Amino acid sequence: MNAPAIALENLTVTYNRHPAVHHVSGSLARGSLTAIAGPNGAGKSTLLRAIMGELKPAEGAIRRAVSSRDYGYLPQAADINRRFPVSVIDTVVTGAWKRAGAFGGIGRAERQKASEALVAVGLEGFEARPIGSLSAGQFQRTLFARLLLQDASVIILDEPFTAIDSRTTQDLIDIVLRWHGEGRTVVAVLHDHEQVRAHFPQTLLIARELIGWGPTHEIMTHDNLKRARALAERWDENAPVCAVPA
C-alpha cells in the first residue's frame, strides 16, 4: 500500500496547556477526499493549522509525504486585508510562488494560467478588479483560482463554503471534486452535514478527541454526532494533567 499523504501519530495540540486536539491518530491516504466535521470549538481549525505546521504539537507527531510548504491552504477568509489595493489577477498569480519564489520572474505563461484559473472559477473578465470591490462569493472564487494555480498535491480548506451562496458553493464543490479526480489529497473543514454526506467519501469527526475517522456513512451517524456535541461542550478550567500515556 502507498505511504499516506499525512499521518497523525497520537497528536495533541494545546492552547495554554488545554488540549484543543487530543490524542488523535490516523492517516490521510494519497488522493483521498476527507471532510473534517465537528461542533464549534472542536479543534478543526487547530488540527488544520497543526497539519500546516503553524502550530507545534504538544505531544505526538505529524508525518508528511511532502513538506507543508507545498500544500495549497485556504485559511478562514478573515485573515486577508481586503482593502489592500491589489487586483484579482495579481492575487491569483501569487499562487505561482512555488515556481517563481520571492524573486523569480512571472512570465506570460503564468499570467495565462492565472486567467484560465479565473475562467475555471467563473470570474472571466475580473482580472483588473481590485479585490476590495468583490463580493464574498467572488472573493472566495478568487482564492480558489489561486489554489488552482498552486497546483498542489495536498489541498487544505478551512470552512471554504461559509457565508457563500448555494450557486457559488456548488461551483466550488465541483472544483474540489475535480481535484479529487486528479488524484490530489483534499481535506476540508465543513459545517454542512449534507455537503459532507453528498460529496466527501471520508470523514474525520472530531470534538477535541477523535470521535471517528473513516467512510462517511459509518462516521456521520446520529450517535456519533450527539457524542461530539457533548464532548465539545465539556470544559474544566482546573482540569488535572492528562493521564493518557504518550
- Output phi, psi for 211, to 5 deg: -90, -40
Contact with other proteins (CB under 8 A) among 3, 54, 63, 124: 54
- Which one-letter amino acid corresponds to residue 120? A
Least gap, CB of 199 to other proteins (angstroms): 24
Stretch that binds other proteins, among 19-27, 33-41, 84-92, 109-117 (CB under 8 A): 84-92
Cβ nearer to other proteins, comparing 76 with 224? 76
107 binds other proteins (CB under 8 A): no
126 counts as binding other proteins under rule CB under 8 A: no
For position 130 contacting other proteins by CB under 8 A, the verdict is yes
Beta carbon of residue 99, minimum distance to other proteins (angstroms, whole number): 11
Question: DSSP secondary-structure letter at 106?
Answer: -
Size of the site for other proteins (CB under 8 A): 23
Which of 14, 87, 153, 224 contacts other proteins by CB under 8 A?
Answer: 87
Quote the least distance from Cβ 66 to other proteins, whole Å.
Answer: 12
Which long-range contacts (C-beta less than 8 Å, at least 24 apart) are formed by 71-75?
71/152, 71/154, 71/155, 71/156, 72/147, 72/150, 72/152, 72/154, 72/155, 72/156, 73/48, 73/155, 73/156, 73/158, 74/143, 74/144, 74/147, 74/155, 74/156, 74/157, 74/158, 74/160, 75/48, 75/158
Closest CB 87 distance from other proteins, rounded Å: 7
- Candidates 14, 27, 94, 153; binder of other proteins (CB under 8 A) is 94
103 in contact with other proteins (CB under 8 A): yes
Residue 37: all three cell numbers together: 466535521
Does 81 contact other proteins by CB under 8 A?
yes
Q: Is 153 among the residues that bind other proteins (CB under 8 A)?
A: no
Supply the Cα-derived Rg of the chain in whole angstroms. Answer: 19
Instruction: Answer yes or no: are the C-beta atoms of 225 and 240 closer than 8 Å.
Output: no
- d(Cα 79, Cα 230) in Å, to the nearest integer? 30
> How far apart are CB 106 and other proteins at their closest, in Å?
9
The Cα 113–Cα 120 span in angstroms is: 10
If one asks whether residue 68 binds other proteins (CB under 8 A), the answer comes out as yes
Other Cβ atoms less than 10 A from the Cβ of 228: the count is: 21
Q: Out of 4, 14, 30, 52, name the contact with other proteins by CB under 8 A.
A: 52
Q: Does 97 contact other proteins by CB under 8 A?
A: yes
Where do contacts with other proteins occur on this chain (CB under 8 A)? Answer: 52, 54, 67-69, 71, 73, 75, 79-81, 84-87, 91, 94, 97-98, 102-103, 130-131
